Structures are given as C-alpha cells and as structure tokens.
C-alpha cells in the first residue's frame, strides 16, 4: 500500500510529507489553477519540497495526440525527466500513451471510469491508471467492484500497470479501495487526517499520561 497527496497546496505538501508516509504528489489542471501562479513554476516548487526520490504527476492539457505529445515534451523539459505525465483515457489519449511509453516517458492514464478502459491502458503500457472513485459513485457505478475487476485482470494477465485510486470524498472510500485491491491511493491531506483521527486513541493516550503522571510526576523517559 502506497500513498500520494492529491494537491498543489505547498503548505499541505510540506505537512503531508513531514507527518505521513507519502511517496509523492499528484496534481491536475484544476488543482494547479488554484495556485495562482504559472504551472511550471509551481511544479518546480513542489519538486523542491518533495525531492527527486518522490513521484510527481502533472497532466497534459491538449486534446489531440499531437497536442498531448507536445505538452508532455514541454513539461518534462520544464520540470524534470522523472515527472509522470497524466493522460486522459480518450482515444487520442490512448494513442499518446503508446507513443509516450515508446519514447521513455513515465505515464499515468487518468479519468478512468471502467475496467475496460483500465485494460486498454494496461495493454498500452501505462505505468499507472487512476480510477475516479467518487465520480463513479455519483454516476451510480460500483466503484469498488470496478477496482477489484481491474486488479484481477492485471494480476491474471501479468500487466505491470499499477492502480492509483483517486477522487475521494471521505476516508471510508479509501479503506474500501485498498481492500478491493488498489495498491496505490492519492487523496487530499484532510482525507488522510480523517483516516488518522480516532477518539478512542485520544482517550487511551490521556489514560497513559494520567498513569505516568501519578507514578513518575510527569518526568519524561528521556529526562529520567
């Protein structure tokens, strides 16, 4: 199980990287637009925070194959060669994924809503595929069953493409996606904080503190 932050907020990235076991950051055009600064400048700031050993994802904006290929080339030139390129799972996008992989790009097939799309992305050689969980559910689809179908298909046919479940509204969705077979998750910092929060843990910690205070006058172990 590997976790990524789905944000372009620099403060959230700093906090998430400091406190949580994050392996990288995913962005999209909508997220980057909220930063209020040029795309490449902001991506370079994110890279500076997370380092080259972490994964960083950014999405092409072109709609045609030619535009997507040109976008990918420019993005790698402006950021770095380790940047993962997100490509929408359209017919033009599928063509671009094939070509990008042939040229050595790192690629994620994004905006995936079915196991069939994920199968095509896997056959095209995409490194990752990102099913949109909440949006599936809003459309009346069984998102967890789709995750399970993708995971089974990839395993049975030895497809190396990894699932990164995305688009969450609450932490229970994350839990269910992991149990359904998604080895990677990308979510916002508030979602991860929901996963961590547990009132019973707070009660237990207060009990430990009270017992320690009574026995050792609150002197911490490293000062004893």
Residues belonging to the active site: 86
What DSSP designation does 217 have? T
Number of alpha carbons in the 13 Å side-chain half-sphere of residue 36 = 2
**Which residues are CB-neighbours of 185 under 8 A, at least 6 positions away?**
1, 2, 3, 4, 164, 165, 166, 174, 177, 178
Helix (H, G, I), strand (E, B) or coil at 198: coil
Q: How far apart are CA 224 and CA 222, in angstroms?
A: 6
Kindly state the DSSP code that residue 169 receives in the 8-state scheme. S
Please name every residue paired with 57 in a beta bridge, in sequence order, or none if there are none: 26, 84
Burial of residue 194 (CB within 10 Å: 0-12, 13-18, 19+) is middle
């Amino acid at each position: 199980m590997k976790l990524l932050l789905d944000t372009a907020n620099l403060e959230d990235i700093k906090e998430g990287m400091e406190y949580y076991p994050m392996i990288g950051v995913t962005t999209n055009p909508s997220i980057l637009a909220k930063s209020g600064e040029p795309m490449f400048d902001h991506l370079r700031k994110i890279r500076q925070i997370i380092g080259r050993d972490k994964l960083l994802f950014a999405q092409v904006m072109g709609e045609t194959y030619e535009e997507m290929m040109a976008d990918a080339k420019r993005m790698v030139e402006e950021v770095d060669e380790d940047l993962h390129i997100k490509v929408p799972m359209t017919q033009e996008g599928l063509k671009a994924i094939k070509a990008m992989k042939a040229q050595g790009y790192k690629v994620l097939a994004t905006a995936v809503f079915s196991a069939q799309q994920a199968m095509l992305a896997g056959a095209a050689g995409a490194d990752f595929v990102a099913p949109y969980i909440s949006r599936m559910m809003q459309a009346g689809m069984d998102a967890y069953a789709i995750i399970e179908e993708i995971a089974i298909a990839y395993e049975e046919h030895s497809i190396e493409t990894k699932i990164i479940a995305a688009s969450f509204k609450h932490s229970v969705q994350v839990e269910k996606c992991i149990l359904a077979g998604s080895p990677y998750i990308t979510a916002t910092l508030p979602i991860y904080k929901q996963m961590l929060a547990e009132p019973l843990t707070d009660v237990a910690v207060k009990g430990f503190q009270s017992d320690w205070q009574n026995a050792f006058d609150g002197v911490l172990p490293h000062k004893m």
